[in-house]
Structure 1
């Protein structure tokens, strides 16, 4: 969505938070996949992913190995089923996943006139319940591709939301007048987003639930 002027002035600046490792203590998508997959199927899936893991050592493309894991563990799952699973996962695990000091910083920004945005490489459908729980104004994540019957195909509907793609997604959402008041991240996948922030914060959260 493009920025629009509000009745009392321009749209507030953005405060962008990476999700996995920044707001959370670990990768939420891997935790979600493991949670919803029976132990035997999880182990079998891991064996199927060995070729993709070996290929990753060469290409270092996290999006490709994530897509491979999505195909192994989620292909054929319906959108409604996946959304329900994501809601249940967030309800059960938000307290054990979210960093308390990160949440405190989030709530502090909530008191200012800014747009709080989660920008994540994880599938948006999985992060959405967490975003709603935090009261995020926007969520920019990696969208999964669904076939004509509404089932996960195992591919992404757009590029993996990591690195330069995070900036592209922010600009696509908020237009050429994008102003990033602050950004928080914890890996090289956040470098470009941090570079456009007036206040870049790298690995400033270390709290554990």
Structure 2
């Protein structure tokens, strides 16, 4: 029997892309309606202290996402994503890094099973991949669910949460190769035979080197 094709896992934001796509999308949603920004500003005295500790930092972010989506349903997200992408100026830098696209296409040409695992929003990441001609690559991404008139986190494809979500989609570890830019993906990196870090900060690189039995390869794509 033939050997199964190697599985290659790519992170998305700041690994394949120039910016954090979900962050920019939700900021755009907040800014397009002044009352949403006003609601976030009014809540700052209560939520800003939560940003100081890593354990509580997620709550202000989730609050901002909820405010950005108030009055919106999950079914409205594809249209909002399309409007957001259309709002990017024609002269704007492409979202994808050329070296990243070359690496993805190289793995595909070798017959490897490529999968993208990202904390970004599923319809957002999928729309960008479609426009890059990579829409057929399996995508494991975050989803939202309705809550009190807005949307909140449902499945969050981030950190250790990526491992069971990838396994549920048929990409169980160990993986042949893992690409990421951030130490939040340590649980994924620890299950890869080869690890590549994309433009890591010195702090990120130090944390990963300390935790991994192998020395990761650093790639300068940005």
Q: In 2, are the aligned partners of 1:145 and 1:152 still within 8 Å (CA)?
A: no
The answer to whether the Cα contact below 8 Å between 1:120 and 1:161 also exists between their aligned partners in 2 is yes
Q: Which residue of 1 aligns with 2:141?
A: 141
Q: CA RMSD in A?
A: 2.8
1:17 touches 1:118 (CA, 8 Å); kept in 2?
yes
User: 1:169 maps to what in 2?
Assistant: 165
Is the Cα–Cα contact under 8 Å of residues 67 and 150 in structure 2 kept in the other structure? no
Label 1:113 to 1:142 Cα distance change in 2 as closer, same or farther (>3 A). same
Q: Which residue of 1 aligns with 2:8?
A: 15
Deviations 1:129-181 (A, max 9, x none): 1233323421111110136xxx97332223x22111111211222265x4412
Contact 2:7 2:171 in 1 (8 A): no
1:99-154: CA deviation from partner (whole Å, max 9, x where unpaired): 1111111111121222221111122122121233323421111110136xxx9733
Structure 2: gaps of 5 or more residues: 199-217
In 2 relative to 1, CA 84–206 (structure 1 residues): closer, same or farther, beyond 3 Å?
farther
Task: Pick the structure with greater CA Rg.
Answer: 2
Whole-Å Cα distance in 2 between the matches of residues 48 and 15 of structure 1? 44
Q: TM-score of the superposition, structure 1-length normalised?
A: 0.78
Moved more, 99-108 or 122-131: 122-131
Query: Residues 157, 184 of structure 1: CA spacing in aligned structure 2 closer, same or farther, 3 A cutoff?
Result: same
Name the TM-score, length of structure 2 as normaliser.
0.74
Closer, same or farther in 2 for the Cα pair 1:78/1:53, shift >3 Å?
same
Gaps of 5+ in 1: 1-7
Aligned twin of 1:57: 52
1:99 aligns with 2:89: no
Distance in 2 between residues matched to 1:12 and 1:92, nearest whole Å:
39
**Matched residues in 1 for 2:43 and 2:9: separation?**
32
Give the C-alpha shift of residue 70 in structure 1.
1.1
SS of 2:77's equivalent in the other structure is helix
Deviation at 1:45, TM superposition (A): 4.8
Does 138-147 or 198-207 show the bigger shift? 198-207
Give the corresponding residue for 1:4: none
Tell me the distance in 2 between the aligned counterparts of 1:67 and 1:146: 13
Distance 1:99 1:16 in 2: 17
Cα 1:173–1:48 shift into 2, 3 Å: farther
CA separation in 2, counterparts of 1:109 and 1:175? 16
The answer to whether the aligner puts 1:195 opposite 2:193 as a matched pair is: no
Partner of 1:3: none
Aligned residues: 196
Pick closer, same or farther for the CA change 1:157–1:25 going to 2, 3 Å: same
